[in-house]
Structure 1
Amino acid sequence: MNNPAVSIRDMQVAFDDFVALKDVSIDVAQKESFGIVGESGSGKSTLLRAIAGLNVFEKGTLAVNGRDYPGRGRDKDFYRTVQMVFQDPYGSLHPRQTVDRLLSEPLAIHGFSDSEVRIARALDEVGLGSGFRFRYSHQLSGGQRQRIAIARALIVEPKILLLDEPTSALDASIQAEILNLLEQARTERGLTFIMVSHDLGVVSHMCDRLAVMKNGAVVETLLPEALEKREFSADYTRQLLIASEGFGRSGR
């Protein structure tokens, strides 16, 4: 893989005596949508947060677009390139800030001067209008909050989005809208996605490849088509597939 967007080698994350990530290695290509699946406690969100700098890794390496980053601490340039959308749209937005403040803050941090134009464009891109600009998060539905969270991530024009179960807290009817919004943004902007999910159907629909994690380790990496054809090597992947109700890959 030439010049991967994200390259991880032998990453280990421990919390006291508990090893949450065990020598994980993955490569994610430029403009690829890469999925990470596994049951609760498998280490998938820990891995995503370690990439973002929210979890410290004491062992291993992380490179983003060819630049090495340490186990702790990220600079402003990193967050200009890499943004994260969290699982809970109720917890990821400051309750005392308007949408305008939520969107203008990252623009100020990264030195953008044309904030008026960018905020209007960001709201339009996520399917909301200028009428939402001065609302507070408690005045928004769950789906609207997640749209604002996505707008906040996209507004600084990153190249890589880290998506931690971005639809799992939403009603099923809203999930498809958010996934379609994300896919449209990826296509139009040429983004790289790393998406964590427990839902094999979502990952299979959204991602080009996926890694299956269990107990802090990557069990195997495969194409979504291999799931449809039952062409996988790990019995754990088979168990996940059986446990995933309503699994399908329609609409791809």
Structure 2
Amino acid sequence: MTVVLSAKDIVVDFDGYLALDRVSIEVAKGESFGLVGESGSGKSTLLRAIAGLNHFEEGALMVDGRTYSRKSRDKSFYRDVQMVFQDPYGSLHPRQTVDAILLEPLVIHGVDNKEARIARALDEVGLGTGFRFRYSHQLSGGQRQRIAIARALILEPKILLLDEPTSALDASIQAEILNLLEQARKDRNLTFVMVSHDLGVISHMCDRLAVMKSGKIVESMDVHQLETREFSADYTRQLMVASEGFRRD
């Protein structure tokens, strides 16, 4: 397999609290890789450390053959790696139109054909150009998350980091967003790293996954092993039981 993303022995320390304790993952080109675990296990912290939103104290990060230090990221990194956040209400600027939100990354990176790219991005996420001059408060939660995905895709990245992209949405909208993401991955040969507390979402979207607890990876497996319950860690078993909810006898 061609490894496009490698994080090795990543350590993130928040004023003495070890949020990530020597975490390592490898993700192949075109693969969808899942991170699961309870709240506070370090899933989102790892995603943010990869994206450059958190510094890491120790470890090494490789993206598409280039190595990055704990602080340095060049402009090409931010074209290759984009992130979609959990909260579609908080991740869009409330005083910018959709047009301005999508235009900003194109201006920052000096990309040509701005009009065509904006139109394509909106079309790809199932919104027409009629949404270009609306503000985020005029959109539903699902529409806002589509705009956030369009903003991430507009630079044509190689890797998409997805931090619980559907957890803030109604159940009826979640499937639409997940199908949209899966189609974009196939069309663009994207690589996904997806954080979710929902094992059903991970099972549907991902090829392999890592189970995290207290800032460490306790187990790695492919989705088939998850579905057939071929896992060894008790914690993974507890997560599976919790995700299935309560059942009456």
- Normalising by structure 2, report the TM-score: 0.97
Instruction: Provide, for residues 165-218 of structure 1, a one-character-per-residue CA deviation record: whole Å limited to 9, x for no partner.
Output: 000000000000000000000000000000000000000100000000000000
User: Aligned partner of 1:125: which letter?
Assistant: E
Q: Which residue of 1 aligns with 2:143?
A: 144
Q: Which residue of 2 aligns with 1:17?
A: 16
Q: Which residue of 1 aligns with 2:99?
A: 100
SS of the aligned residue for 2:161 comes to strand
* C-alpha distance in structure 2 between counterparts of 1:76 and 1:172, whole Å: 36
Matches for 1:213-228 after TM superposition, within 5 Å: 213-228=212-227
CA deviation after TM superposition for structure 1 residue 73, in Å:
3.5
Q: Which residue of 2 aligns with 1:175?
A: 174
User: Aligned partner of 1:127: which letter?
Assistant: G
* C-alpha distance in structure 1 between counterparts of 2:8 and 2:150, whole Å: 31
Instruction: Provide, for residues 76-99 of structure 1, a one-character-per-residue CA deviation record: whole Å limited to 9, x for no partner.
Output: 110110000000000000000000
Q: Which residue of 1 aligns with 2:56?
A: 57
Q: Which residue of 2 aligns with 1:204?
A: 203
SS of the aligned residue for 1:184 comes to helix
Instruction: Provide, for residues 22-47 of structure 1, a one-character-per-residue CA deviation record: whole Å limited to 9, x for no partner.
Output: 00011000000000000000000000
- Normalising by structure 1, report the TM-score: 0.96
* C-alpha distance in structure 1 between counterparts of 2:81 and 2:136, whole Å: 24
Runs of 4+ displaced beyond 6 Å: none
* C-alpha distance in structure 1 between counterparts of 2:51 and 2:110, whole Å: 21
Matches for 1:1-252 after TM superposition, within 5 Å: 1-2=1-2, 4-245=3-244
* C-alpha distance in structure 2 between counterparts of 1:163 and 1:235, whole Å: 26
Give the gaps of 5 or more residues in structure 1.
248-252
CA deviation after TM superposition for structure 1 residue 246, in Å:
6.3
User: Aligned partner of 2:83: which letter?
Assistant: M
Task: State the percentage of identical aligned residues.
Answer: 76
User: Aligned partner of 1:83: which letter?
Assistant: Q
* C-alpha distance in structure 2 between counterparts of 1:228 and 1:63, whole Å: 30
Q: Which residue of 2 aligns with 1:250?
A: none
SS of the aligned residue for 2:175 comes to helix
SS of the aligned residue for 2:169 comes to coil
SS of the aligned residue for 1:31 comes to coil
User: Aligned partner of 1:11: which letter?
Assistant: I
Instruction: Provide, for residues 45-85 of structure 1, a one-character-per-residue CA deviation record: whole Å limited to 9, x for no partner.
Output: 00000000011101010000111111114221101100000
User: Aligned partner of 1:178: which letter?
Assistant: I
CA deviation after TM superposition for structure 1 residue 112, in Å:
1.2
**Residues 203 and 227 in structure 2, CA contact (< 8 A), matched pair in contact too:** no
* C-alpha distance in structure 2 between counterparts of 1:77 and 1:71, whole Å: 16
CA deviation after TM superposition for structure 1 residue 245, in Å:
2.6
* C-alpha distance in structure 2 between counterparts of 1:150 and 1:25, whole Å: 27
* C-alpha distance in structure 2 between counterparts of 1:213 and 1:36, whole Å: 7
**Residues 201 and 246 in structure 1, CA contact (< 8 A), matched pair in contact too:** no
* C-alpha distance in structure 1 between counterparts of 2:155 and 2:133, whole Å: 20
